[in-house]
A = this chain, B = another copy of it.
């Protein structure tokens, strides 16, 4: 299946379409000097080789990095940006810009070179000085150094112009599907006759790794199904991976696979053939009804006489001598480092810069008229862009009356979600084929489904593709939608990589996980989460909430929606939980603080503290009542979120869990790991120590020790221990 490589290799004379092979290896003679060539009409070649040599030099200087792909793909990226990308370096977050996703994040110098050469201006006051260049030549010289704007892999927020954090393979591809979906959704929502507010394209640069990762396969299948005509993946087929030639593990016919997904597939036989590249991109732009895959055959380490087409060019510096040889093959001054010939930046300014500015300004002026004609929509558009909440989003939040029978938190969450969504038009989401079980469907009339012929719908069907769902949610959030996605808690394992990226990028994505413990019963241990809660809690920057009843669900949603820059997990029960009587117990408002005293001993002087989360709060409450009846001074604490609790002052934390009260019992139907922090030395942790099993819930609670008696016994033992110690 290996394609026949008929492309010119280094040292051979350019053949037929020589004119179009901008940036190929020129004569080996180093003259005329790079700077002198500008006048000779070779500015394109000069620009391409500037990208290449900046990348080579940065990696060499850092003594770490990936030079081979920038060397191969500079002509492609040059052509895409200079001649096609609708992107204004002066305003890199203009909402209708084309998105460029570098799914091959290790080739980060390709992107940094472009950000520098096109003069992208910084916008993010937190990490940058707005208005200053996002990337300077000095930043490039500090590639991979501490505090650099040019880290090893591109990081969203840190560097303006980076559309998404990439590096873990497959993620960029799948995220870009979310961006394309967002584009179609935004177009449907905001475009009006003569007002094309949104029609951006998404270009994604992928590699062999992306083609192999399952997450990209899932996303490609869905993109084909949704007929995302605004999506273009460009596959750098260099046939080299870290372990060697792709022949050792990857011999499928990628083109045919994508045809099967319903994509249009184009092929460019030589990554240096900018004319063909341009033709392919033009073909994509004329294709509106299906996504496009452009397969570009390239030579990793192009220009390096000893390392091209080898894995040695992938992940380490070329070495000083090889750098010289590569530069010589480009006709570049061998001793020049970080050379940017005069005219190159001006050339980009005249190309992408001028085109981008014109487009952006036209859009801005269209927005003015739009604001006049459609003030409500314009307001919405602008609120979205600023990640503001719509006015009155919480006006319909319900309050649930006490109810001993109660309802599952997945059900109360459905009610809350459906109370918020009508007032929050860009709150959209769905499930990985479990919406009837996770109860995440928007049921009001106007909600609709997002399908190829109904891009305005708000219910997404991700299919049985949890991993792609996670990445797509990130893509939606990057384009300023407010997305949520759902599956069973145990299957959060399938989507951990994009959840991690969500946290790293600080995106307001909501992950809804129902069936949150052995409480799901008979489906058994494959479906019963045990270790998932702690896995989620340990992701930095992610907030996990496990509400105890319907009113805690309301408050959990309030916390989640209130966070503009933090992903959250909402962890919900399958089984019904009593709606606690808030006249008797403290208000659920305490959810916002992560943990709160729900009921207390007389005079606030407990001898033992019962700490529960989610479905186990009800049993703690029962135990509290029994202890109370028996004259035992107990405190009942609901602790829906460790992360929120940790954010509170020490004084507050000590007020909930007074250090002097060492008799403590935690009850959570998940792994006990981590609970020592809250029960302290010698405290009791009722939880799971093994996998669960398939049986009705009642039997499982008995088997694994979650009965009322278990909790009461543990509390009494704790009191005894504390008394003995005192």
Contact = CB atoms under 8 A, between A and B. Distances in A.
Interface residues of A, number: 112
Nearest to A451: B248
Contacts of A166: 526
A261 B252 contact: yes
Given A524-B152, A531-B540, A674-B673, A224 B251 contact: yes
Contact of A153 (B209, B249, B255, B523): B523
Nearest to A694: B151
Given A153-B523, A527-B167, A214 B468 contact: yes
A521 B688 CA distance: 36
Given A256-B260, A433-B242, A690-B540, A522 B144 contact: yes
A169 interface: yes
A217 interface: yes
Interface in A116-172: 144-148, 151-153, 155, 165-169
A243 B461 contact: yes
A591 to B, nearest CB: 21
A698 to B, nearest CB: 9
Contact of A694 (B153, B221, B689): B153
Nearest to A689: B540
A424 interface: no
A433 B259 CA distance: 26
A433 B260 contact: no
Interface in A249-271: 249-257, 259-262
A148 B694 contact: yes
B538 A671 contact: yes
Interface stretch (A183-191, A376-384, A486-494): A486-494
A531 B539 contact: yes
Interface string A390-416: 000000000000000000000000000
A91 interface: no
B1 A524 contact: no
A105 B526 contact: yes
Contacts of A539: 531
A699 interface: yes
A260 B262 contact: no
A220 to B, nearest CB: 9
A274 B141 CA distance: 69
A467 interface: yes
Total copies of this chain within the assembly? 2
A503 B680 CA distance: 29
Contacts of A527: 152-153, 167-168
A163 to B, nearest CB: 15
A307 interface: no
Nearest to A500: B493
Contacts of A212: 218, 221, 433, 463-465
Contacts of A673: 534, 537-538, 673-674, 677
A574 to B, nearest CB: 11
Nearest to A1: B262
Contact of A168 (B217, B521, B526): B526
A497 B492 CA distance: 9
A496 interface: yes
A311 B437 CA distance: 12
Nearest to A441: B243
Contacts of A700: 146
B490 A168 contact: yes
Nearest to A528: B152
A175 to B, nearest CB: 13
B167 A524 contact: yes
Contacts of A696: 64, 144-146
B463 A249 contact: yes
Nearest to A662: B681
B538 A146 contact: no
Given A144-B694, A490-B168, A526 B218 contact: no
Interface string A504-522: 1000000000000000011
A41 interface: no
Nearest to A467: B214
A462 interface: yes
A253 B258 CA distance: 10
A201 interface: no
Interface string A657-697: 00100000000000101101100110000001111011110
A656 interface: no
A422 interface: no
A678 B289 CA distance: 59
Contact of A464 (B208, B218, B256, B677): B208
A331 to B, nearest CB: 31
Contact of A434 (B213, B242, B255, B463): B242
A225 interface: yes
Contacts of A680: 681
Contacts of A500: 493, 531
Nearest to A106: B523
A541 interface: yes
A295 B629 CA distance: 64
A165 B692 CA distance: 14
A222 interface: yes
A435 B496 contact: no
A710 interface: no
A65 interface: yes
B224 A218 contact: no
Contacts of A315: 437
A214 B467 CA distance: 8
Nearest to A314: B436
Given A145-B695, A433-B249, A64 B537 contact: no
Contacts of A18: none
A-B interface, 6 closest residue pairs, ranked by CB to CB distance from nearest: A214-B214, A151-B694, A167-B526, A146-B695, A256-B260, A531-B538
Interface of A: 1, 62, 64-65, 105-106, 144-148, 151-153, 155, 165-169, 208-209, 212-218, 221-222, 224-225, 241-243, 248-257, 259-262, 311, 315, 431, 433-437, 449, 451, 461-465, 467-468, 490-491, 493-494, 496-497, 500-501, 503-504, 521-527, 530-531, 534-535, 537-541, 659, 671, 673-674, 676-677, 680-681, 688-691, 693-696, 699-700, 703
Given A146-B696, A168-B526, A168-B527, 9 more contacts: A144-B524, A166-B526, A212-B221, A212-B463, A256-B256, A493-B496, A494-B497, A534-B534, A674-B676
12 contacts: A62-B522, A146-B699, A152-B527, A214-B218, A224-B251, A242-B436, A243-B435, A249-B461, A493-B497, A494-B496, A504-B526, A534-B674
